[in-house]
Amino acid sequence: MTDPAPLRADDLRVLAFGLTQHSAIEDSVYFEPLEQVAQDIERIATVSRSVGLLNEEFTLTRLQQELTRNNYPGLHLATHRRFGIDAEKNFLVTDERKTKAGQTAQNKKLTMNQLHQIIRNLPAENVLELLTLTACETAVGNDRAALGIAGLSV
């Protein structure tokens, strides 16, 4: 569906976001800390002109700003996720938090539809060539979960 071409390591510039902290979505969905994410993001940030952002820097607004203002051929998102059959319920977890009266702060979701819109609305000169989603169970849950990820990528 695309015309694949080898990526040259010295030309690759990656925007990497990571979430290492305990996270909560809704009232009963909790995610344990992701201990290895900090090391992954730090390694990516050592690649020429790449940027690594962790935890409180991982917000929907910051993601949109970075991708719009700068040309990053690579996007790496290392966070908690939930994928399933219903595309509307598939999401990644950001560190942006919302608080309801009398409740603990909860992390915000980055839905696949939101991510798709962000990527589609990039300036024409900002071409995303490599998308990496990393989580403990990125394509686990059912036989169709990986197809949703592939569709987003295309």
Asked if residues 95 and 81 have their Cβ atoms less than 8 Å apart, the reply is no
| Domains of the chain: total | 1
Other C-beta atoms lying within 10 Å of the C-beta of residue 23: 21
Give pLDDT < 50 ranges for the chain.
1
pTM of the model: 0.82
pLDDT the model gives residue 24: 86
In a domain, 8, yes or no: no
What DSSP state is assigned to residue 7? P
Rg (C-alpha) for the chain, rounded Å, is 16
pLDDT the model gives residue 70: 92
- The pair of three-digit structure tokens given for residue 78, joined into one six-digit string: 């290392």
**Cβ within 8 Å of residue 3, ≥6 positions away:** none
In a domain, 133, yes or no: yes
Report the amino acid identity of residue 115: L
In a domain, 142, yes or no: yes
Backbone angles phi, psi at 15, to 5 degrees: -100, 120
In a domain, 4, yes or no: no
Give the CATH number, domain containing residue 32.
Answer: 3.40.50
In a domain, 106, yes or no: yes
- C-alpha span between 111 and 114 (Å, rounded): 5
Asked if residues 112 and 90 have their Cβ atoms less than 8 Å apart, the reply is yes
pLDDT the model gives residue 3: 67
Tell me which residue has tokens 């995303």.
128
pLDDT the model gives residue 130: 87
| Residue 93: domain span | 14-153
pLDDT the model gives residue 142: 57
The sign one gets for the Cα dihedral 35, 36, 37, 41 is positive
In a domain, 55, yes or no: yes
- The pair of three-digit structure tokens given for residue 114, joined into one six-digit string: 């939101």
In a domain, 7, yes or no: no
Q: Indicate the length of the chain as a whole number.
A: 154
Say how far residue 149 (Cα) sits from the centre of its chain: 12
pLDDT 10s digits, 113-137: 899 899 999 999 988 888 888 876 5
